[in-house]
Amino acid sequence: MYINKAFIFGNLTRDPEVRALPSGAQVASFAVATNRVYKDKNGVQQKSVDYHNIVVFGRQADIAAQYLKKGRSVFIEGRIQTRSWDDKTSGEKKYRTEIVAERFQFGPRTGESNFVQSTDTATPAGAVGKEVKKKEKESDEEGGAIQYPEEEINADDIPF
């Protein structure tokens, strides 16, 4: 069995560019930067950035172009692909490695912290509900349009 799977969480380095293929299907391309912080052999903290070329096809390309903007965080799930072509001006063979996105999810917007910690950590059962109610109250004070239900959410009621 062979596996070609990539998971990337990072920030867009530029707005998505949308083009139409000869078949009429839409294709969006953009780049995502991922940061890595580590300590070198001397114990000094180092930072590095990697840039990943992302390609999205079909309806997801339209959604990416509509909602993704430079600086926005995004989670990409896809496969790695390398294309090659002959450059018309120099005659050289060119290569480009990219991630063909099968799915993507929007990350939190700048200044927001909507992530709920994994249930692998010992989180009290009512803690998530209390956090939702706290955000609801803050949203009401700020005039937000989202109205959350008042009842507690029980994890046993979720069908998956």
Give 54 or 129, the one with higher predicted confidence. Answer: 54
9 pLDDT more than 50? yes
Q: Measured on CA atoms in the order 17, 96, 6, 9, is the torsion positive or negative?
A: negative
Residue 92's domain is classified under what CATH number? 2.40.50.140
In a domain, 35, yes or no: yes
pLDDT band at 158 (very low <50, low <70, confident <90, very high): low
Does residue 135 carry a pLDDT above 50? no
Residue 143 lies in a domain: no
Domain-located, residue 131: no
pLDDT at 144 > cutoff 70: no
Residue 28 lies in a domain: yes
Q: Is the pLDDT of residue 95 over 80?
A: yes
Structure confidence at residue 151 as a pLDDT band (50, 70, 90)? low
134 versus 3: the higher-pLDDT residue is 3
Q: Examine residue 56 and state whether it is found in any structural domain, yes or no.
A: yes
Q: Return mean pLDDT, the chain.
A: 79
Q: What total number of domains does the chain contain?
A: 1
Structural domain includes residue 153: no
Inform me whether the pLDDT recorded for 117 exceeds 50: no
Looking at the domain assignment, is residue 62 inside a domain? Answer: yes
CB 5 within 8 A of CB 77: yes
- Residue 85 domain-assigned (yes or no): yes
Print the domain residue range for 61: 6-106
* pLDDT at 21 exceeding the cut of 80: yes
